[in-house]
Amino acid sequence: MTTRYTKDHEYIRVEGDVGIVGISDYAQAQLGDVVFVELPDVGKTVAKGGEAAVVESVKAASEVYAPVSGEVVAVNDKLPDSPATVNEDPAGAGWFIKIKLADKAELDGLMSEAEYAEYLKSIA
Amino acid sequence: MLNNQGRPTSAGEAAAQSHPTFTGNRALIIEEALLFEIGRPETTGVDVPAPKAVKSRLGGQERKAPIGLVGLSEPETMRHFVRLSQKNYGIDTGLFPLGSCTMKHNPRLNEKMARLAGFADIHPLQPQSTVQGALELIEMLAHYLMTLTGTEAVAMSPKAGAHGELCGMMAIKAAIEAKGEGATRRVVLVPDSAHGTNPATAALIGFEVKPVPARADGTVHVKDVKELLGPDVAAIMLTNPNTCGIFEPEIVEIARAMKKAGAYFYCDGANFNAIVGKAKPGDLGIDCMHINLHKTFSTPHGGGGPGAGPVVLSKRLAPFAPVPFIRRKGKKLELVEHAADAGKATPFGRVTAFHGQMGMYVRALAYMLSHGADGMKQASEDAVLSANYIRAGLQDLMSVPFPDHPSMHEALFDDTWLKDTGITTLDFAKAMIDEGYHPMTMYFPLIVHGAMLVEPTESESRASLDLFIMALRDLAMRAKRGETERFAGAPFHAPRRRLDETRAARNPILRWVPPQPMQQAAE
Amino acid sequence: MRYLPLTPDDRAGMLARIGVATVDDLFSDIPADKLLKEPVNLPHHAGELSVERTLGAMAAKNVPASSVPFFVGAGAYKHHVPATVDHLIQRSEFLTSYTPYQPEIAQGTLQYLFEFQTQVALLTGMEVANASMYDGSTGTGEAVLMAHRVTKRRKAVLSGGLHPQYADVVKTLSMMANDAVVAAPADVNGTEDLARLIDNETSCIVVQNPDVFGNIRDLRPLAAAAQAKGVLLIAVFTEALSLGLIESPGAQGADIVVGEGQSIGNGLNFGGPYVGLFAAKQKYVRQMPGRLCGETVDAEGKRGFVLTLSTREQHIRRDKATSNICTNSGLCCLAFTIHMTLLGEKGLRQLAQVNHANAVDLAERLEAVKGVTVLTSAFFNEFTVKLPVNAAEAVEKMAKKGVLAGVPVSRLLPGEGFDDLLIVANTEVNTDEDREAFVNALKGVL
- Identify the pLDDT of residue B1: 61
Contact between A36 and B505 using a beta-carbon 8 Å cutoff: yes
**DSSP 8-state secondary structure symbol assigned to residue B516:** P
Helical ranges in B435-515 per DSSP H = 462-481, 484-488, 501-506
H/E stretch holding A121 reads helix A113-123
Residue spans per domain, chain B: 110-367, 373-495
Mean pLDDT lowest for which of B9-13, C149-153, C354-358? B9-13
Measured torsion, CA atoms of residues C100, C104, C107, C108, in degrees rounded to the nearest 10: -80
Shortest CA distance to C356 belongs to which of C377, C385, C380, C382? C380
- Identify the pLDDT of residue C324: 75
Smallest CA–CA separation between A119 and chain C, in Å? 26
Strand ranges for C153-223 from DSSP E: 155-158, 180-183, 202-208
Chains touching B (3+ CB pairs < 8 Å):
A, C
Contact between C298 and B92 using a beta-carbon 8 Å cutoff: no
Return residues 51-90 of A near B (CB < 8 Å).
Answer: 56-59, 83-84
Spatial CB neighbours of B253, under 8 Å, sequence gap ≥ 6: B222
Smallest CA–CA separation between A56 and chain C, in Å? 7
Average pLDDT of the residues in A7-17: 93
Bridge-based pairing of strands A10-15 and A2-5 is antiparallel
- With contacts defined as CB-CB under 8 Å, which chain A residues touch B501? 58
User: For residues C253 and C223, is the Cβ–Cβ distance under 8 A?
Assistant: yes
CA angle (C319 as vertex; C317, C324 as ends), nearest 5: 80
Do C67-80+345-445 and C83-339 have matching folds?
A: no
Contact between C122 and B74 using a beta-carbon 8 Å cutoff: no
- With contacts defined as CB-CB under 8 Å, which chain B residues touch C329? 304-306
pLDDT at C319 exceeding the cut of 80: no
Residue of B nearest to A79 (CA): B506
Smallest CA–CA separation between B253 and chain A, in Å? 35
CA C424, CA B9: separation in Å to the nearest integer?
68
Cis amide prior to B491 (ω within 30 degrees): yes
Smallest CA–CA separation between C227 and chain A, in Å? 22
Cα C404 to chain centroid distance, Å, stands at 22
Mutate to test the interface with C, among A35, A36, A37, A56 (most CBs of C within 10 A): A56
Q: How confident is the model at residue C300 (pLDDT cuts 50, 70, 90)?
A: very high
- Identify the pLDDT of residue B5: 74
CA C412, CA C208: separation in Å to the nearest integer?
16
Contact between B502 and A35 using a beta-carbon 8 Å cutoff: yes
pTM assigned to the model: 0.96
Shortest CA distance to C356 belongs to which of C239, C185, C212, C252? C239
- pLDDT tens digits, one per residue of C97-117: 999 999 999 999 999 999 999
Beta-carbon count within 10 A of B420 CB: 7
Contact between C328 and B305 using a beta-carbon 8 Å cutoff: yes
CA C335, CA C81: separation in Å to the nearest integer?
9
Angle at which helices B74-85 and C330-367 pack, to 10 degrees? 150
Cross-strand partners of B153: B313
**Domain formed by C83-339, architecture:** 3-Layer(aba) Sandwich (3.40)
The average confidence (pLDDT) of chain B is: 94
- Identify the pLDDT of residue B518: 52
Q: Does domain C67-80+345-445 have CATH number 3.90.1150.10?
A: yes
Average pLDDT of the residues in B171-199: 94
CA B486, CA B478: separation in Å to the nearest integer?
9
Q: Is C12 on the interface with B (CB under 8 A)?
A: no
Spatial CB neighbours of B64, under 8 Å, sequence gap ≥ 6: C247
| Out of C329, C348, C377, closest to residue B69 by CB | C348
φ and ψ at residue C407, rounded to 5 degrees: -110, 115
- With contacts defined as CB-CB under 8 Å, which chain A residues touch B505? 35-36, 56, 58
Contact between C29 and B406 using a beta-carbon 8 Å cutoff: yes
Return residues 353-382 of C near B (CB < 8 Å).
Answer: 353-354, 356-358, 360-361, 363-364, 377-380
The average confidence (pLDDT) of chain C is: 96
- pLDDT tens digits, one per residue of C409-423: 999 999 999 999 999
User: For residues C114 and B499, is the Cβ–Cβ distance under 8 A?
Assistant: no
Average pLDDT of the residues in B370-397: 98
Smallest CA–CA separation between B85 and chain A, in Å? 27
User: For residues A69 and A11, is the Cβ–Cβ distance under 8 A?
Assistant: no
Smallest CA–CA separation between B500 and chain A, in Å? 10
- Identify the pLDDT of residue B523: 42
Mean pLDDT lowest for which of B21-30, B349-358, C62-71? B21-30
CA B214, CA B206: separation in Å to the nearest integer?
24
Contact between C269 and B132 using a beta-carbon 8 Å cutoff: no
3 state DSSP class of B118: helix
CA C351, CA B138: separation in Å to the nearest integer?
34
Give the Å distances, CA to CA, from C164 to C139, C155, C298.
15, 18, 47
Cα C444 to chain centroid distance, Å, stands at 35
Q: Is A80 on the interface with C (CB under 8 A)?
A: no
Give the Å distances, CA to CA, from C30 to A85, A95, B302, B443, C367.
52, 53, 33, 27, 69
Q: How confident is the model at residue B3 (pLDDT cuts 50, 70, 90)?
A: low
Residue spans per domain, chain A: 2-112
User: For residues B406 and B278, is the Cβ–Cβ distance under 8 A?
Assistant: no
Beta-carbon count within 10 A of C402 CB: 12
Amino acid at C2: R
Tell me the torsion sign for CA atoms C85, C91, C96, C99: negative
**Predicted ipTM of the assembly:** 0.97
Chains touching A (3+ CB pairs < 8 Å):
B, C
Average pLDDT of the residues in C2-31: 98
CA B107, CA C55: separation in Å to the nearest integer?
15
Residue spans per domain, chain C: 67-80+345-445, 83-339
φ and ψ at residue C235, rounded to 5 degrees: -95, 130
Q: Going edge to edge, which strands form the sheet with B264-268?
A: B153-155, B311-313, B288-290, B264-268, B233-239, B187-191, B208-212
Q: Write the class of the CATH domain B373-495.
A: alpha beta
- pLDDT tens digits, one per residue of B255-314: 999 999 999 999 999 999 999 999 999 999 999 999 999 999 999 999 999 999 999 999
CATH, range A2-112: 2.40.50.100
- Identify the pLDDT of residue C316: 67
Do B110-367 and B373-495 have matching folds?
A: no
Average pLDDT of the residues in B109-115: 98
Contact between C27 and B406 using a beta-carbon 8 Å cutoff: yes
φ and ψ at residue B267, rounded to 5 degrees: -105, 125
Cα B7 to chain centroid distance, Å, stands at 53
- Domain covering B110-367, topology: Aspartate Aminotransferase; domain 2 (3.40.640)
- Identify the pLDDT of residue C406: 97
pLDDT at B522 exceeding the cut of 90: no
CA C164, CA C170: separation in Å to the nearest integer?
10
Amino acid at B181: E
User: C298: burial class by Cβ within 10 Å (0-12, 13-18, 19+)?
Assistant: buried
